[in-house]
């Protein structure tokens, strides 16, 4: 039996432009989860938490075994930039090592978290 290499907590959302990206959850849910128009992460299983680094690393390793090429990765769920910069850099380093042809990593984010994160000025 084939199983997808990533352990998703459903539902999973991504922008239409990320249809061909590997969706990698680094958090569960949204750290804010308070926009009146949004019900994306209101189900109990989507309560916000950062995923354990070892779980993210395991998913990356499984995806590297399963896919020949991963040029694009989308960091889920609703607000990956809430993670500490040190943790985000670890994730980027793990992705770069696992996927040699990686060209782009993107995510949803809360503007306030982007504003306080030094990665906003980071370029490869």
The minimum distance between CB 9 and ligand SF4, in angstroms, equals: 14
The minimum distance between CB 12 and ligand SF4, in angstroms, equals: 12
Binding residues for ligand SF4, rule: CB under 6 A, are 30, 32-35, 38, 40-41, 78, 110
The minimum distance between CB 109 and ligand SF4, in angstroms, equals: 8
Q: Of 16, 33, 46, nearest to 110 (Cα)?
A: 33
Which residues lie closer than 8 Å to 108 by C-beta, 6 or more apart? 15, 76, 77, 78, 79, 80
Question: Which CB atom, from 62 or from 117, has the smaller least distance to ligand SF4?
Answer: 117
CB 77 within 8 A of CB 41: yes
Q: Of 81, 82, 74, 91, nearest to 15 (Cα)?
A: 74
Question: Which CB atom, from 25 or from 78, has the smaller least distance to ligand SF4?
Answer: 78
The minimum distance between CB 33 and ligand SF4, in angstroms, equals: 5
Cα distance between residue 47 and residue 77, in whole Å: 11
Question: Which CB atom, from 33 or from 85, has the smaller least distance to ligand SF4?
Answer: 33
Which two tokens mark 34? Answer: 């308070």
Question: Which CB atom, from 8 or from 32, has the smaller least distance to ligand SF4?
Answer: 32
């Amino acid at each position: 039996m084939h199983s997808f290499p990533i352990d998703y907590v459903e539902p999973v959302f991504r922008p239409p432009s990320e249809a061909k990206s590997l969706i990698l959850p680094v958090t569960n849910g949204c750290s804010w989860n308070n926009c009146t128009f949004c019900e994306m992460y209101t189900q109990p299983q989507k309560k916000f938490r950062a995923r354990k680094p070892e779980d993210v690393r395991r998913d990356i390793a499984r995806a590297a075994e399963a896919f020949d090429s991963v040029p694009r990765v989308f960091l889920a769920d609703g607000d990956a930039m809430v993670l500490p910069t040190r943790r985000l850099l670890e994730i980027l380093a793990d992705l770069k090592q696992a996927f040699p042809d990686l060209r782009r990593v993107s995510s949803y984010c809360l503007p306030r978290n982007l504003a306080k994160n030094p990665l906003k000025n980071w370029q490869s």
